[in-house]
Structure 1
Amino acid sequence: MKNPIHTDTLEPDQPFCNRVEELSSLSGHARNGMNVVIFAPRRYGKTSLVRRVQHQLRSEGVCVIYAQFMRLVSVDDLVHRLAKAVVVGLHEHESLLDKGKRWLRHLPSVQPVFTLDSSTGTPAVSIRMTSRPKDSLDALESLLEELGALLAKDDFHVCIALDEFQDIVDIKEPRVEALLREHMQRHKASYVFLGSRRRVLVDIFSNKGRPFYHSATMMELVPLPEDECVEFIRQQFAQGGKHCPEDVARKITRSVEQYPYYLQALAYRVFELCEDACTPEHVTQGYELLLGNERYSFQAILQGLSAGQLKLLRGLAQDGQAQLTSTAFLQEYGLTLGGVQSARNALSEQDIIEQLNDGRWRIVDPIFKDWLLQAF
């Protein structure tokens, strides 16, 4: 029997757990031309959510553009990624090989290049910049001006999603934010800004001293409702021809604290382990397999951390939630007040740890926390 549970970014036609309210709100904002910031931890389904919304909008005749800004390395990199996203979005909306070619007059600095995809036989799109200014910021401004001219068309409704938008700060060019804001506020489009480094992303839009201050509606993705996770898992097992009792589905859900990616990943492994019906023992086995599978990405996180940051993570893994500056915590894990403050800021910026409403801190990723307990 084919496993019906997916563990990668979900396509619009694949099963999607809940987020009904978020889907409705985001679609409505896009239709109304509002800008939205979506923030949540890594692997929380932000990209799947936006792709689903854009798929719905495309069926309504809206042109949708999606750009990935993860790990931007330069202003030139930003220009190229945004230009390619615009061209691909336009081509999917109306073929640039046909009537859609009229739009290209608004983008004189961008030349689409079409090649035949050997696996699908369909045209694949890449781009060349026809006349790149020597200064990268000038190139970015030219592209934004051209995009503005295109978006000004009265019959043109556009939704533009910029994924991992906070990574623009890694370019280390402070004028980029101001330039993007200057043009985007005039663009006749709905922008959706996504990001998983929440502290950095939220600061871009909530800090009075930054260009994007109060320029978009903030939308935080919260953990999925437990009962709906349970029902979703049971439905997926039934679709695959297997039975998942309610108590087992609830054990799966609680084991990963309703964390969207891990919910799917653990359910996938449990489905593979059982024959006709799954048991709590299958969940335990599946969870160990999940921890083993994730160790490579977790080890990569540790390799980039200082000794002080590792000590702080060890303390949070063992204590669960803690007051980081308490004398007991500092003494237990051999930390100093200054060392904790430095490590806390670095780990928080990477969205590895987060502060709770009561002032305590915890590790964001519950599976990473459990893996750390084993590793230490």
Structure 2
Amino acid sequence: MQNPFTIGIAKNEDFCNRRQELADLVNYAKNGQKVVLYSPRRYGKSSLVRQVLKELEKVNFLTVYVDLFSISSEQDFISTLATGILKRIGSGADPRSLGDKVKNLFGRLIPVFEVTPEGLGFSVKFDRSTKLELLLDDLMEGVYNYIKKKQLRACIALDEFQEVTELAESKKIEGILRSHIQLQKEIAYFYIGSRRRILKDIFTDKSRPFYKSAFLYTLKEIPKEDFIPHIEKRFKESSKKCPSDTAEKIYDTVRGYPYYVQKLALLTWDITQKACNNDLIDVAYKLLLKMETPGFEGIWSGLTLIQKAVLKALAKEPTASPFAKEYLERYGLTIGGVQKAIHALLSKDLIGKDTEDKYRLTDPVMGDWLRE
């Protein structure tokens, strides 16, 4: 029997709760709002947004989802965004009439599509020597003119939006985008990201073009009272048992971190014959730690010595006072080193503040890995 848990994009029965968040985001989109959706990595942002877009399609929205994680240049950004938009506009169109549908969409960007055994493939081409602002103006104006002409409403979701800040011309891109987006009342925009400090700065720094131009919406853990029944149900549907107290241990072991709850449940299910128990969860958690170790080692190797020292200290002892004399002495740290390290670790989203205002590791499993 197939494992009922997933660590990829959650769809249909894999999608756990998020009823309030789903309702909020659908409502924001219907009202043409701009929303910054942020959380730590692997909290389910992409799954949630895809579910929102699915709901909007039911009321005839044009929906666009673009992942900007891999962009490496300004031209790459334009190509990725334009291709994502073109793909949605051309979705479901007859290949024989598609050319007429999109040929006047842009001025400087030329739509390219080809029929393959997998379906239609989309891309754009343009003169790489053309100025960035001309290309981006062409893209944003073309999309908006299409929406107006077709009398549509739309929602454009830009995942890992903070990656734009890594580009040399990032401020220019932000300015051009803002100048168009603020006039596009028919289009809702979702700016999604997991490097929370950087993403929030884009919209809260007075010197940035996007200052106060969107709602800030935090995606939190799925509540225990919702996740536990989901775990029980998925075990039961696959002819296995997981009592509520055992499902609660799965949740608590990884501090409710959505990705790890799913993964630990998946691994526990794999080694469960009939009924899940605490011993099996302990075995599964050791497997999870082993599987995550290469990723943690990659992160660790990219840190400076002082960043490593501060991260280890916070793994052992989360604190609201990392600059206190006693804390610094206990871990052999200096106030200047800690200040620089915390700034860097916050930017990398490796640490954050919890509800008690304590600095602690964002990733609970990495915390266990460091303590071991």
Q: Please give the residue correspondences for 1:91-106 in structure 2 after superposition, counting only pairs within 5 Å.
A: 91-92=90-91, 94-95=93-94, 97-98=96-97, 101-106=100-105
Aligned position for 2:295: 297
Q: 1:111 to 1:371 in 2, by over 3 A?
A: same
Q: Which secondary structure does the structure 2 equivalent of 1:98 belong to? A: helix
CA RMSD of aligned residues (A): 1.7
Q: How far has the Cα of 1:100 moved from its partner?
A: 8.0
Q: What TM-score do the two structures reach when normalised by structure 1?
A: 0.93
Q: Which secondary structure does the structure 2 equivalent of 1:37 belong to? A: strand
Single out whichever of 135-144 and 361-370 deviates more from structure 2. 135-144
The one-letter code of the counterpart of 1:299 is E
- Provide the C-alpha distance between the structure 2 equivalents of 1:8 and 1:295, rounded to a whole number of angstroms: 19
Q: Which secondary structure does the structure 2 equivalent of 1:105 belong to? A: coil
Aligned position for 1:331: 329
Where structure 1 has 5 or more consecutive residues not aligned to the other structure, the ranges are: none
Aligned position for 1:165: 161
Q: How far has the Cα of 1:373 moved from its partner?
A: 1.0
- Provide the C-alpha distance between the structure 2 equivalents of 1:321 and 1:3, rounded to a whole number of angstroms: 39
Q: How far has the Cα of 1:154 moved from its partner?
A: 5.1
The one-letter code of the counterpart of 1:5 is F
Q: 1:96 to 1:214 in 2, by over 3 A?
A: farther
Matched, 1:142 2:138: yes
Matched, 1:63 2:59: no
Q: How far has the Cα of 1:324 moved from its partner?
A: 1.0
Of 213, 230, 237, which aligns to 2:235?
A: 237
- Provide the C-alpha distance between the structure 2 equivalents of 1:229 and 1:100, rounded to a whole number of angstroms: 47
Contact 2:78 2:135 in 1 (8 A): yes
Q: Please give the residue correspondences for 1:90-239 in structure 2 after superposition, counting only pairs within 5 Å.
A: 90-92=89-91, 94-95=93-94, 97-98=96-97, 101-108=100-107, 109-116=109-116, 121-153=117-149, 155-173=151-169, 174-187=171-184, 188-239=186-237
Q: How far has the Cα of 1:257 moved from its partner?
A: 1.3
Aligned position for 1:26: 25
Single out whichever of 324-333 and 101-110 deviates more from structure 2. 101-110
Q: Which secondary structure does the structure 2 equivalent of 1:152 belong to? A: helix
Q: Which secondary structure does the structure 1 equivalent of 2:63 belong to? A: strand
Contact 1:40 1:46 in 2 (8 A): yes
- Provide the C-alpha distance between the structure 1 equivalents of 2:100 and 2:155, rounded to a whole number of angstroms: 20
Q: 1:299 to 1:97 in 2, by over 3 A?
A: farther
Aligned position for 1:314: 312
Q: Which secondary structure does the structure 2 equivalent of 1:232 belong to? A: helix
Q: Which secondary structure does the structure 2 equivalent of 1:106 belong to? A: coil
The one-letter code of the counterpart of 1:150 is Y
Q: How far has the Cα of 1:115 moved from its partner?
A: 3.5
1:308-335: CA deviation from partner (whole Å, max 9, x where unpaired): 0000011011113352101122112221
1:344-371: CA deviation from partner (whole Å, max 9, x where unpaired): 0000011110124554311111111111
- Provide the C-alpha distance between the structure 2 equivalents of 1:226 and 1:167, rounded to a whole number of angstroms: 32
- Provide the C-alpha distance between the structure 1 equivalents of 2:37 and 2:100, rounded to a whole number of angstroms: 33
- Provide the C-alpha distance between the structure 1 equivalents of 2:52 and 2:95, rounded to a whole number of angstroms: 24
Q: How far has the Cα of 1:113 moved from its partner?
A: 1.8
Contact 2:71 2:77 in 1 (8 A): yes
Contact 1:133 1:139 in 2 (8 A): no
Aligned position for 1:355: 353
Where structure 2 has 5 or more consecutive residues not aligned to the other structure, the ranges are: none
Q: How far has the Cα of 1:77 moved from its partner?
A: 1.1
Q: 1:46 to 1:100 in 2, by over 3 A?
A: farther
Identity %: 34
Q: How far has the Cα of 1:209 moved from its partner?
A: 2.0
Single out whichever of 188-197 and 327-336 deviates more from structure 2. 327-336
- Provide the C-alpha distance between the structure 2 equivalents of 1:202 and 1:101, rounded to a whole number of angstroms: 41
Q: How far has the Cα of 1:103 moved from its partner?
A: 3.9
Runs of 4+ in 1 over 6 A off after TM superposition: none
Q: How far has the Cα of 1:85 moved from its partner?
A: 0.5
The one-letter code of the counterpart of 1:200 is I
- Provide the C-alpha distance between the structure 1 equivalents of 2:96 and 2:369, rounded to a whole number of angstroms: 51
Matched, 1:272 2:270: yes
Q: How far has the Cα of 1:136 moved from its partner?
A: 2.8
Q: What TM-score do the two structures reach when normalised by structure 2?
A: 0.94
- Provide the C-alpha distance between the structure 2 equivalents of 1:111 and 1:215, rounded to a whole number of angstroms: 30
Q: How far has the Cα of 1:146 moved from its partner?
A: 1.8
The one-letter code of the counterpart of 1:128 is V
Length, aligned pairs only: 369
Q: 1:358 to 1:253 in 2, by over 3 A?
A: closer
The one-letter code of the counterpart of 1:159 is C
